[in-house]
Amino acid sequence: MVAETSHKEGERGVLLAKQWLESTTHIELPFSVYEVPEQTSLVRLDGAIKRYDLSGHFLATKRPLFVEVKKYSVVGRQPEEYTEYLANAYSITARDIRDGIDRRREFMWVTWHPFSQGKWVHLTSKQEIRDALKTHPEVLDGADVNSEIVDRVSERLWLLVLNPCQEKLFLTREELYKVEQALNRKGM
């Protein structure tokens, strides 16, 4: 019963994160791991598949975006999970580059509870990525760490905290449609 409740809360968190991010009118996230897992799955250097909670793109740049959502009311295992997230982002990007196409994917971590507050301002830094790769060397599949790729990944990381009070500020679906039409970010 606890696992089912946790799963439902996680799915609710994914839907709230989607609504929040799309309310910015800068992001479109048509794919959820709960509905279309193949569109939220990426492959690391070692061939392992990593599924993200949401995927889509930024409207202005069309840059792909993969979102990891943590609807926690406590810190929980976020520090360890975030370290793995960094290692995965590096490995996925390195695989793209190795295969000849840098897809310029961006990676976003959305949480309801801050973590690692003593180093919060550094959590998207190059050093944090390097430390994550030391903790998770399996994602490298024997490859050396490439400083250029570390730089790229660091520039493509997002770390956001959603407060439950912000849910009161979301645009409704109807409001969002009106705003999107007026802004024409989708080029319609």
Decide if 188 is inside a domain.
no
- State the Cα–Cα distance between residues 60 and 51, nearest whole angstrom: 25
Decide if 154 is inside a domain.
yes
Decide if 118 is inside a domain.
yes
State yes or no: pLDDT of 18 exceeds 60.
yes
Decide if 67 is inside a domain.
yes
Global pTM? Answer: 0.91
Write out pLDDT tens, residues 112-165: 999 999 999 999 999 999 999 999 999 999 999 999 999 999 999 999 999 888
Beta strand residue intervals within the chain, DSSP E: 27-32, 41-43, 49-51, 54-58, 64-70, 106-111, 157-161
Residue 184 pLDDT level (bands cut at 50, 70, 90): confident
Structurally, how many domains does the chain consist of?
Answer: 1
Decide if 187 is inside a domain.
no
Decide if 169 is inside a domain.
yes
Segments forming the whole domain that contains residue 51: 2-182
**How far is residue 144 from each of residues 2, 74, 93, 141, 153, measured CA to CA in Å?**
41, 35, 14, 9, 15
